[in-house]
Amino acid sequence: MVRDFDIGNDENIGVYVGLLASSYAAAQCVVSVPWGRLSDYIGRRPVLLLGLIGISFAMILFGFSKNYTWAIVSRLLCGVLNGNVGVARSVVGEITDATNQARGFSVIGFAVGTGFIRNFFSFFFF
Protein backbone atom coordinates (compact mmCIF):
# COMPACT_ATOMS: atom_id res chain seq x y z
CA MET A 1 0.00 0.00 0.00
CA VAL A 2 2.74 2.42 0.95
CA ARG A 3 4.70 1.52 -2.16
CA ASP A 4 1.63 2.37 -4.26
CA PHE A 5 1.55 5.86 -2.73
CA ASP A 6 4.80 6.51 -4.64
CA ILE A 7 6.35 8.69 -1.93
CA GLY A 8 9.96 7.67 -2.33
CA ASN A 9 12.32 5.02 -3.47
CA ASP A 10 12.14 1.41 -2.33
CA GLU A 11 15.12 1.87 0.01
CA ASN A 12 13.10 4.11 2.35
CA ILE A 13 9.82 2.22 2.19
CA GLY A 14 10.51 0.57 5.55
CA VAL A 15 10.80 3.96 7.24
CA TYR A 16 7.45 5.07 5.84
CA VAL A 17 5.76 1.82 6.84
CA GLY A 18 7.24 2.11 10.34
CA LEU A 19 5.96 5.65 10.73
CA LEU A 20 2.53 4.59 9.54
CA ALA A 21 2.37 1.65 11.92
CA SER A 22 3.74 3.52 14.93
CA SER A 23 1.43 6.51 14.48
CA TYR A 24 -1.45 4.35 15.73
CA ALA A 25 0.33 3.31 18.92
CA ALA A 26 1.62 6.83 19.59
CA ALA A 27 -1.84 8.34 19.31
CA GLN A 28 -3.33 5.62 21.49
CA CYS A 29 -0.68 6.24 24.15
CA VAL A 30 -1.38 9.97 24.24
CA VAL A 31 -5.17 9.70 24.61
CA SER A 32 -5.59 6.71 26.93
CA VAL A 33 -5.70 8.79 30.10
CA PRO A 34 -8.13 11.40 28.70
CA TRP A 35 -10.44 8.56 27.59
CA GLY A 36 -10.35 7.20 31.13
CA ARG A 37 -11.18 10.58 32.61
CA LEU A 38 -14.00 11.05 30.12
CA SER A 39 -15.40 7.66 31.08
CA ASP A 40 -15.40 8.73 34.74
CA TYR A 41 -17.34 11.83 33.78
CA ILE A 42 -19.93 10.59 31.26
CA GLY A 43 -19.88 6.84 31.90
CA ARG A 44 -18.16 3.77 30.56
CA ARG A 45 -20.78 2.70 28.02
CA PRO A 46 -20.93 5.95 26.02
CA VAL A 47 -17.12 6.08 25.84
CA LEU A 48 -16.87 2.48 24.67
CA LEU A 49 -19.60 2.97 22.06
CA LEU A 50 -18.07 6.21 20.82
CA GLY A 51 -14.69 4.55 20.48
CA LEU A 52 -16.12 1.52 18.70
CA ILE A 53 -18.14 3.54 16.20
CA GLY A 54 -15.32 6.01 15.71
CA ILE A 55 -12.65 3.41 15.04
CA SER A 56 -14.95 1.67 12.55
CA PHE A 57 -15.26 4.92 10.64
CA ALA A 58 -11.52 5.62 10.89
CA MET A 59 -10.63 2.16 9.56
CA ILE A 60 -12.87 2.74 6.56
CA LEU A 61 -11.06 6.03 5.96
CA PHE A 62 -7.73 4.21 6.14
CA GLY A 63 -8.92 1.64 3.63
CA PHE A 64 -9.83 4.38 1.17
CA SER A 65 -6.57 6.32 1.62
CA LYS A 66 -5.28 7.67 -1.67
CA ASN A 67 -2.00 9.14 -0.40
CA TYR A 68 0.44 8.74 2.47
CA THR A 69 -0.68 11.84 4.34
CA TRP A 70 -4.27 10.65 4.42
CA ALA A 71 -3.13 7.21 5.57
CA ILE A 72 -1.16 8.77 8.47
CA VAL A 73 -4.09 10.99 9.46
CA SER A 74 -6.52 8.08 9.42
CA ARG A 75 -4.15 5.88 11.47
CA LEU A 76 -3.72 8.68 13.99
CA LEU A 77 -7.51 8.94 14.16
CA CYS A 78 -7.69 5.18 14.72
CA GLY A 79 -5.27 5.48 17.62
CA VAL A 80 -7.12 8.44 19.12
CA LEU A 81 -10.44 6.61 18.98
CA ASN A 82 -9.01 3.34 20.30
CA GLY A 83 -7.66 4.82 23.51
CA ASN A 84 -10.51 3.14 25.33
CA VAL A 85 -8.74 -0.19 25.92
CA GLY A 86 -8.12 0.93 29.50
CA VAL A 87 -11.79 1.78 29.85
CA ALA A 88 -12.71 -1.75 28.77
CA ARG A 89 -10.37 -3.18 31.38
CA SER A 90 -11.96 -0.90 33.99
CA VAL A 91 -15.38 -2.26 33.09
CA VAL A 92 -14.15 -5.82 33.51
CA GLY A 93 -12.64 -4.89 36.86
CA GLU A 94 -15.92 -3.33 37.98
CA ILE A 95 -18.23 -6.15 36.95
CA THR A 96 -16.11 -8.99 38.34
CA ASP A 97 -15.24 -9.93 41.88
CA ALA A 98 -12.42 -11.96 43.41
CA THR A 99 -14.01 -15.26 42.36
CA ASN A 100 -14.11 -14.55 38.62
CA GLN A 101 -11.73 -11.63 38.04
CA ALA A 102 -8.97 -13.78 36.54
CA ARG A 103 -11.44 -15.27 34.08
CA GLY A 104 -12.77 -11.82 33.13
CA PHE A 105 -9.34 -10.42 32.34
CA SER A 106 -8.35 -13.55 30.45
CA VAL A 107 -11.35 -13.04 28.17
CA ILE A 108 -9.86 -9.68 27.13
CA GLY A 109 -6.57 -11.40 26.28
CA PHE A 110 -8.41 -14.12 24.39
CA ALA A 111 -10.36 -11.54 22.37
CA VAL A 112 -7.20 -9.62 21.47
CA GLY A 113 -5.43 -12.83 20.46
CA THR A 114 -8.40 -13.91 18.35
CA GLY A 115 -8.36 -10.54 16.62
CA PHE A 116 -4.67 -10.91 15.80
CA ILE A 117 -5.23 -14.41 14.43
CA ARG A 118 -8.12 -13.19 12.28
CA ASN A 119 -5.98 -10.36 10.95
CA PHE A 120 -3.16 -12.78 10.20
CA PHE A 121 -5.38 -15.12 8.19
CA SER A 122 -7.22 -12.31 6.43
CA PHE A 123 -3.84 -11.12 5.17
CA PHE A 124 -3.31 -14.44 3.39
CA PHE A 125 -6.82 -15.30 2.27
CA PHE A 126 -8.47 -12.00 1.36
pLDDT 10s digits, 62-92: 999 999 999 999 999 999 988 788 888 888 8
79 and 100 belong to one structural domain: no
66 and 101 belong to one structural domain: no
Residue 61 lies in a domain: yes
Checking if the pLDDT of 37 tops 70, the result is: yes
Total tally of structural domains belonging to the chain: 2
The widest CA-to-CA distance across the chain, in whole angstroms, is 57
User: What pTM was computed for the model?
Assistant: 0.77
Percent of the chain at pLDDT > 90 equals 33
101 and 51 belong to one structural domain: no
Residue 91 lies in a domain: no
78 and 110 belong to one structural domain: no
SS3 78: helix
- Which of 66, 76, 80 has the alpha carbon at shortest distance from 2? 66
- Which of 6, 111, 20, 14 has the alpha carbon at shortest distance from 62? 20
Residue 90 lies in a domain: no
C-alpha distances in Å from residue 77, one per residue of 32, 55, 97, 113: 13, 8, 34, 23
Instruction: State which amino acid sits at residue 32.
Output: S
C-alpha neighbours within 13 Å on the C-beta side of residue 91: 15
The range of the structural domain enclosing residue 7 comes to 3-85
Residue 77 lies in a domain: yes
